[in-house]
Structure 1
């Protein structure tokens, strides 16, 4: 399983993904689920993936190869005139890979499925964020839906819904996402650290702060412990239930 979040802020875009692909007593694998394409001064595109690993790796490899090919030979993310058209290219590539896998391999409705979050900015347009489904259709984030989640979404969603603020600083967005990820990994073994992150500032057209947060990271440990303590204190402060009616 996977957990990835893409979020729109007034300041720009925030991305975070876990790296766990398998979980069990003796079978835990780590793979990067975030890919960034950059042409400084012209475009910055970030992709996160959840689902079948063979499918997501094939999609990223095809997009990467085509981005290095002449534009007249293959549709390329590095030549897309808008983020909308970039999302269409990614959606078509995902549908192509799933169809090819289904034709040559095991047949099952969801075996080769994957879901993607695509965000970024191309010069001449604003930052945009898309959620791309296995069928190849996609939706765009907006004021009513300012963030997308893929993978194991339910455990980390409540804190995002309650605390999200489009005016928050990148530093506060990181804190919010780490609480969301901490809640998810505590509830589901198939989501795990380390967590990759990328912060894109509007109109910068270049990679922003990015990195990887390990489970032993002092700040993450303080967030995890502090959030747990705060929840217990809040629960203890609520009035007790009465059986007397």
Structure 2
């Protein structure tokens, strides 16, 4: 499984993904799930992937090949005029890879016949010069939605453990430093609850109108800042729990006596 977060801020975008993939407890590997395509001074586009590894790797590989030899039939995302069209092209490619056109003459024999095994979802984030930074969530069917003031961040993969942290702590006006800290807490909560998400983590910060990575790093097991975040968050939760009013067993209760 995986966990990826893409967050919109007034200053730009904050993105983070884990790197764990597994096909059972005895087959755990590390694969990059964040991919950035950049034309300095003109555009920066980042994709984060979740789902079947063969499917997502095929999508990324085909995008990379198109960037090398662009054409009308297979357009490059580095030449798309808007981020909306970038998201549309990625969505079409996801659907095409999952359905496997031309490879399986019988509709019941293609990858889609295997159901969820071949599903994939992708977060697309970035900015093209002269336009606003944008954030999209691509579904396995190829359709997509865009982040907004009502939905300012997207998650894919194991989303449930880290979502409450983001909902309580997010502020669109927050600085990059606080946003990174918030995302790290979200990841720490997910790591503690689900073994299918694991270190190292990839972090990318995209500042509005810069068109190159503002900050980029890989966070490993021994990263001192992430370890301090994990330790500090655990201690803060314990202190917060202990500070809550004690439950009084002598208060009015509705005790039902067994018949």
TM-score tier (shorter): over 0.9
**Aligned runs of 1:1-245 on 2, under 5 Å?**
1-22=1-22, 25-100=25-100, 103-105=109-111, 107-244=113-250, 245=252
Q: Is the 8 A contact 1:71 1:79 kept in 2?
A: no
| C-alpha distance in structure 2 between counterparts of 1:93 and 1:23, whole Å | 25
Offset of 1:168 from its aligned partner? 1.2
Q: Is the 8 A contact 2:51 2:121 kept in 1?
A: yes
1:58-114 CA distance string (max 9 Å, x none): 000011111121333421101100000000000000000000188445832211000
| C-alpha distance in structure 1 between counterparts of 2:234 and 2:200, whole Å | 20
| Length, aligned pairs only | 245
| C-alpha distance in structure 2 between counterparts of 1:41 and 1:71, whole Å | 23
Give the 3-state SS of the residue equivalent to 1:222 in structure 2: helix
Q: Is the 8 A contact 2:111 2:118 kept in 1?
A: no
Give the 3-state SS of the residue equivalent to 2:123 in structure 1: strand
Q: TM (normalized to structure 1)?
A: 0.96
CA 10–67 in structure 1, closer or farther in 2 if over 3 Å, else same: same
| C-alpha distance in structure 2 between counterparts of 1:125 and 1:9, whole Å | 15
Q: Is the 8 A contact 1:23 1:189 kept in 2?
A: no
| C-alpha distance in structure 2 between counterparts of 1:106 and 1:133, whole Å | 14
Give the 3-state SS of the residue equivalent to 2:37 in structure 1: strand
| C-alpha distance in structure 2 between counterparts of 1:132 and 1:73, whole Å | 21
5+ residue gaps, structure 2, are 253-259
Offset of 1:195 from its aligned partner? 0.3
| C-alpha distance in structure 2 between counterparts of 1:228 and 1:78, whole Å | 43
| C-alpha distance in structure 1 between counterparts of 2:122 and 2:112, whole Å | 22
Tell which deviates more after alignment, 35-44 or 167-176. Answer: 167-176
Q: Is the 8 A contact 1:23 1:190 kept in 2?
A: no
| C-alpha distance in structure 2 between counterparts of 1:230 and 1:105, whole Å | 47
